[in-house]
Amino acid sequence: MKNHAATDERIMYQRRKIQSRGFAYLMLALWISAIVQQILKAPFMQYAVELFLLLAGGIYNIVANYRLGIDLWNAKERKPGGILLNAVITGGVGVTVHALISKNSDIAQLVLFFVFFVAFFFLAQALLAKMARKKQEAIIQKLEEDD
């Protein structure tokens, strides 16, 4: 018979808290690195990896929380047009950053980038919200069955 170490919930909580804090520090360091390199006018390819890892870490956090049924943005209390408004604002910021990084001033390309960005962001956020809602309903149903 194997000897299983007893894992107390408090110990597991502390481990998760430490890992979460470490992840947050790593994300902060990547963000600071990308900002400093932008200020120093480094070529984009020099800090592209940091930026990619920062975005990938953020996307991972969002998707992992939604898969567990954790609603990060409180979709139930949000107005119906909130997701679309969020997508439009994010699209505007995305187009601005894209124009600054790529030094692109072609209006047609920027408008196309904006439209695709808003459509993708809106669909992705709506899909994630639907996934979270289904997961929350499954959790509630399971809790009701246990009672």
74 closest CA partner among 64, 85, 63, 83: 83
Residue 137 confidence (pLDDT): 85
Cα atoms in the 13 Å half-sphere on the side-chain side of 21: 6
Residue 1 confidence (pLDDT): 47
Residue 136 confidence (pLDDT): 82
* Residues of the chain scoring pLDDT < 50: 1, 3
Domain ranges, ordered by start, for the chain:
1-53, 68-147
Which residue blocks in the chain are alpha helix, DSSP H?
Answer: 9-39, 44-67, 82-102, 107-146
Q: Is the dihedral of CA 28, 31, 36, 42 positive or negative?
A: positive
Residue 7 confidence (pLDDT): 67
Nearest 5 degrees, angle CA 67-CA 61-CA 42?
150
Residue 100 confidence (pLDDT): 82
pTM, full prediction? 0.59
Residue 3 confidence (pLDDT): 47
